[in-house]
Structure 1
Amino acid sequence: MSGIVITDNQQPDNPIIYCNDAFERISGYVRREIIGRNCRFLQQEDRNQPEREIIRKALQKNENCYVEIRNYRKNGTLFWNELYLSAIKDNEGKTIYFIGVQNDISRRKKAELELRQQKDQMERQVQERTRTLKINEEYLSSIVQTVRESLIVLDPDSHVLSVNEHFLRTFKVTRAETEDRLLFELGDGQWNIPQLRELLEKILPTNNPVEDFEVEYDFPHIGKKLMLLNAHRIELEGEYKDRILIAIEDITERRSIEKRKDDFLSIASHELKTPLTTIKGYVQMMNKLMPENSNLRFKDLVGKTESYVNRLNNLITELLDVSKIQTGYIELHKENFDFNKMVYDAVEGIQAGTKTHHITIKGKATDSYLGDETQLVQVINNLLANAIKYSPNANEILVYLSLVSDYLKVSVTDYGMGISSEDQKKVFERFYRVGDIQQRFPGMGIGLYVCDQIVQRHGGSLWIESEKDKGSTFSFTLPLKERADA
């Protein structure tokens, strides 16, 4: 079945307003991650293809076009896309929509490529087969022994062929107790773990390799272990055919440290909040009781004190939000409110506090949205504050509101420093800060993480489009009604 998308040519950047189930299956994205984006997100970083120029000219001239273009699924895998792009015009001849019909032609392109390069391919296959046949048990064993993780090599029936020294030390067993035995019978059944059976018997045969499969188990002699398993079926020929290699990373201590860090974060934030509230109250009282003829220097010091107290209060509030998110205690208090007014009010508040930037709002979303207004105000404020902070040499910020299908969309665009494609993948991670930005601007790297979590908890999606030294656009969509896949 063909994937179908419809884009709105009347809105900036031609956002997708409709996609069918086949497009979700082809691309690997779910609908809430698709609606509101420009179709170029499917090319990810591979945007220098000549086919994109063909598409761009067709959009400019409001013409139909056909291309075969490289696209990438959500998991990063390449697929070839056969795209038929058609313009939909109104009675006056104005193009209002574009319909894209897409087919996965990866198999056909692969066959064409194989035919064109048959001679070279056959030579490479012979060389690869020769190299593979030379791999012997001694070579495989040397690799296994030098890896600083616990490794197990199994046959297709889950019998242990070999383990490395790290495995023996970690799980306090001997080689005689381990090798040439069924994995699930080791140590009176201590490895007869339901999750491990599921990995080997159900998941691995259909999904090779398996990465970061988390297993928690209480072993009789060494206690509870939290492990990350990475499994791969080694498809060799001859004597070593169909070996299964399992790498076991013990993350018990790491997770324990993370929990202690989160606990400290929560306790410290709460403990700091109480005296800070008192200090804030005293500063406010000083402002109220300050005589009109007070020394200007004194007034300036009180004002700066209040500014720094508010900044510290915001940082502690963000830390508390992170703590609540990590512990699962953050709650949504959903009520109907005027979303458009909320954004305009938030922009007005930010605009009043800055003399360096002018914020422009365009478009409308909805005057009735069911959500947590306080948390969404926090998202808008954070995105605007970042836009101001990271565009010191620009003075314009654009906020665009729109409706795309059954989602509302908000975009905040600045014309500042921009973010590299590599850093874009990590900006929503907790405590992550871009290297060169970290050196120039203070911060803890938690604002975007909190924003992303709030948007996700509303069933929406937050993303960034940016180019180094050309600015950034942070956009998020929120469903206008509850969805099963939200």
Structure 2
Amino acid sequence: MHVNQQSSALSPLELKVQTFFELSEDLCCILGSDGAFKALNSVWTDCLGWQPEELRSQTWLALVDPQDTPSSQTALKSCINQKRYPLQNRYRHKDGTYHRCQWRFSATPDGDIYAIGKLATASPALETQVKLYHQALEATTCGITIADLHKPDYPIIYCNRAFEQITGYSQAEVLGQNCRFLQTPDTDPVAVEQIRICLREGISCKVILKNQRKDGSIFWNELSISPVRSPQGSITHYIGVQTDITHRQLVEATLQKSNEALAMRVETRTTALRKLNQRLLTELVGRKRAEAALQESEARLRAIFERATIGICRLDLRGQILESNPVMQQMLGYSEEALQFREFTDFVHPDDARTERTIYEDLADAEIERYERELQLFRSDGKGLWAHLTVSLVKDDGGEPSFAIAMIKDITERRTAESALRLTRSMLDGAAVAAFLVSADGRILYVNETAALSLGYRRSELLRLRIHDIAPDFQPEVWAEHWGMLKEFGSLCLDSQHQTKEEKIIPVELTENYLLFQGQEYVCIFALDITEHQRAEAEARRALLREQELNDLRSRFITTISHQYRAPLTAIHSSAEGLGQYGHQWPVEKRELHVRRIQVAVNQMTQLLDDVLTLGAIESGKIPFQPILINLGEFCQQLCEELKGDRELQRSQPENEAYPYPVLPPIRFTQAGDPTAVIDRHLLRHILANLLTNALKYSPLGEEVHFHLACEEEFAIFTIQDSGLGIPEADQPHIFELFHRGSNVGSLPGTGLGLSIVKKAIELHSGEIELISQVGVGTTAIATLPKC
């Protein structure tokens, strides 16, 4: 309850105690034996923001920092036995923050506990300096963390806003964790082991790690860690400086003096209790401890300044260098004394100095708070270097500009590499072959104009694709295996295929080279369109095959012609010799018989020669295709009459092995439909004559050959059916090939050219032919020709 609530019921002595209780400027309260508040003075509202009514339902321990709860419980228990007990802990303000307090406890005979507390404070000078360091750290663009080596697993006890921006985590999510929470399964174990060695041996190190932000995105983190030692030389903390170097924005670790706000406002109201020596002693001890903490924090920040891996200097508002760290001195080749009080622009290239001076004046006037730029600097030896400069303004407690922190990163090597890269890209852009730069996961990172033109894409479109989108042979699972081979051999040359935007397939010859640049893996691919090359190869193969076929054809032609000419020449020679020697003795009938034999032999030789010439003309394309309007019925009737004359001639031939059917069968011709058509008369004669001759030749005595003409609206269909030998099934696929004859024809005369001529003549008409044959039953030939 509040002390004033029972003032009317108190004795004069108790009223004096109560008045003294309220006059105190320290935190005064009375606790029950269970630690619950029984009475509080108004200082609780002034110092910690609590109204007494709000705390009467609480216990004194409920507002203690959880880390200080065990020691505070011990203090309360010990107080009951020892009557009085001093304690220092962190106590919660109503706004949720914790403030360091000194307590004194005294137990009463009735079991209550009197508690007097005072907020710890520090000197204004130290307080201002800590704020200055904190502002400097918060102003840097590099992530800064501080890990406490006194606690298990080295938890982070501080991180700045830049660390939150780089990682995406808030300070509340970071504090208390070990820095490894940013690592991924792909983080380099060698780098992680190097950090462990550094922590174990108490040394500094610098590594590059593959880390993961809160949103799951990956970034490359250049991490520098350094130990912070106490005045006694023991390592108390480790400072971590993180730089996001994902896109070569080499923002180096900043050294800004920072520490958690140690400055707590201390109410210095003086009361009669100040006369108590013990309270004065306690206050003095508290102040000394706060000063020691500030000095320790300053030492840590100074260590960061001195051991940073980038150049850092402090500038006044005129741009003069007030102090510089060793890295900056080494970078510019000057001593600390030589740099002090020199204007920073004295070391800037004249092309950049005027701009730099103008921008810095805007910073000093607080028109801007920070700026970044890349510029050229001069060393003491006259050599130039490229630097990435970050300048941040630091303000005092009143919000007025105080000084600036400049951070300098040597990027000469990067700028040189970029120049070389631009030259290389210019060369690739002008190359006559398609060029690609592809990442390990198949993303297309660069293409030249030749590649874009060959595939029908814009370059911007190709940069949104992956390699399997334009190379069907490199699907993701295949690309992974191919990448392994490429890393093993370094370069590969192979034939593949590319697919254009219109899904056209282009054969290409690929030359691939594996590249490793700044820890990243790439493959540079040059693609040569080999469409014409393959077409030339195919033409050469076809020409070679054609040459081989012609050689085979020539050999078979000579053999066949020699064989086919031998029989009629022998007949001519025999009959001519007989007529010459014995003709005057032979009767007229016998002489006429030999004369007819000579005529038949001559006709056979003439027909063979005609077939050869016709086939040669068709093969060479020299035979003209001259369709004219004809009456197909009359044409077929006339052809049948001509073949009948040949039958009359052969009917007089004696039966022998070469002619098993000396009397050729008759032809029965029928027709249906309109017989007019536009067809090449000469080629049609070759088609029908060969088909009818074959039907007559292989049909037995007494069997008719059926010849039917069916004229439809668009086609003329010629059907010729015999009852002859039939074609064996094994021979049917080859029956239209040159010089091929059925295996069952025996000694029947023939060249094997007729059906080849038929097939090619029908193809000239864009027609079709079909043979249906069965051995011992006969053959049906169906030729279909367009009527126009």
- The reply to whether TM is greater than 0.5 is no
| TM-score, normalization by structure 1 | 0.44
**Which has the greater radius of gyration?**
2
Which structure has the higher relative contact order (CA within 8 Å, separation 6+)?
Answer: 1
